[in-house]
C-alpha cells in the first residue's frame, strides 16, 4: 500500500513543487556550479541506486557519511537547504522511480560497514529506504550505527499506514533533523 502512496505523493509533489525546485536549482547552480548531488547508496535488498539531492557541500568535498564531513564543506546556500530540508526534494524522483519510499530507513553509503552489519543482522534492508522515518523524527543519525539499526528495525516491525503518515507529517512540521555535521 505504501508504494501506491509513494507514487501518488511523489507525482503530486514533483508537479506542485516544480516551481520551487526550479528556483532552488538555479540558486544552487550559482552557489556551487553543480546543483544536483548524486551518490551511490544501499537500497532495498542491498541493491545500489543513485540518490539525488540538492548539493549542499562544495563540489570537491570527500564522499563520506555526513556526520564525518567537515562543517566548512557546506556552501552558503547549502546551509539553508540543509536546515530547511529542501536539499531532499530531488529524492522525490528516487521515490517515483521506486528506489526509495517517502518513509523508510535512510539509505547509507556502501563504505559504512558497521551500519551495514547492524542493519543486515536486523533485516532492515528488506524495506525500501526512505526520506524520513522513526529515526529521523527522533534525531537519531548515522553516527550511532547500532541505535540507528535498532530504531529502523522497530519502525519496520511496527510499520502501518497510520505510522507512514505520522512520520511524513512529523517531518514536514519540523520534528527531527538531518545527519549532524562535524563542527
**CA 90 to centroid of chain Cα atoms:** 10
In this prediction, residue 59 carries a pLDDT of 82
- Please write the tens of the pLDDT for every residue from 85-113: 899 999 999 999 999 999 999 999 999 99
**CA 137 to centroid of chain Cα atoms:** 12
Crossing angle of helices 2-32 and 161-172, rounded to 10°? 20
- Please write the tens of the pLDDT for every residue from 11-53: 999 999 999 999 999 999 999 889 999 999 999 999 999 999 9
H or E element, residue 115: helix 113-121
Which has more pLDDT, 176 or 75? 75
In this prediction, residue 72 carries a pLDDT of 79
The answer to whether 110 and 39 have CB atoms below 8 angstroms apart is: no
In this prediction, residue 69 carries a pLDDT of 63
pLDDT at position 54 over 80: yes
Q: Is the pTM of this model over 0.85?
A: yes
Find the length of the chain. Answer: 183
- Please write the tens of the pLDDT for every residue from 149-169: 999 999 999 999 999 999 999
The answer to whether 25 and 75 have CB atoms below 8 angstroms apart is: no
pLDDT at position 83 over 70: yes
Nearest to 119 by CA among 87, 92, 151: 151
In this prediction, residue 175 carries a pLDDT of 73
Lowest-pLDDT choice from 27-36, 63-72, 135-144? 63-72
Amino acid at each position: 500500500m505504501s508504494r501506491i502512496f509513494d507514487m501518488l505523493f511523489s507525482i503530486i509533489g514533483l508537479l506542485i513543487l516544480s516551481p520551487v525546485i526550479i528556483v532552488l536549482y538555479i540558486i544552487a547552480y550559482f552557489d556551487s556550479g553543480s546543483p544536483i548531488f548524486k551518490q551511490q547508496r544501499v537500497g532495498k535488498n542491498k541493491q545500489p541506486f543513485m540518490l539525488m539531492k540538492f548539493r549542499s557541500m562544495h563540489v570537491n568535498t570527500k564522499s563520506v557519511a555526513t556526520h564525518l564531513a567537515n562543517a566548512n564543506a557546506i556552501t552558503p546556500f547549502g546551509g539553508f537547504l540543509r536546515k530547511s530540508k529542501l536539499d531532499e526534494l530531488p529524492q522525490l524522483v528516487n521515490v517515483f522511480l521506486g528506489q526509495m519510499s517517502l518513509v523508510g530507513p535512510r539509505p547509507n553509503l556502501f563504505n559504512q560497514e558497521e551500519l551495514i552489519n547492524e542493519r543486515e543482522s536486523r533485516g532492515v534492508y528488506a524495506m525500501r529506504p526512505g526520506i524520513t522515518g522513526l529515526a529521523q523524527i527522533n534525531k537519531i543519525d548515522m553516527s550511532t550505527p547500532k541505535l540507528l539499526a535498532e530504531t529502523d528495525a522497530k519502525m519496520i516491525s511496527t510499520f502501518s499506514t497510520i505510522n507512514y503518515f505520522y512520520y511524513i507529517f512529523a517531518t514536514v512540521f519540523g520534528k527531527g533533523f538531518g545527519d549532524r555535521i562535524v563542527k
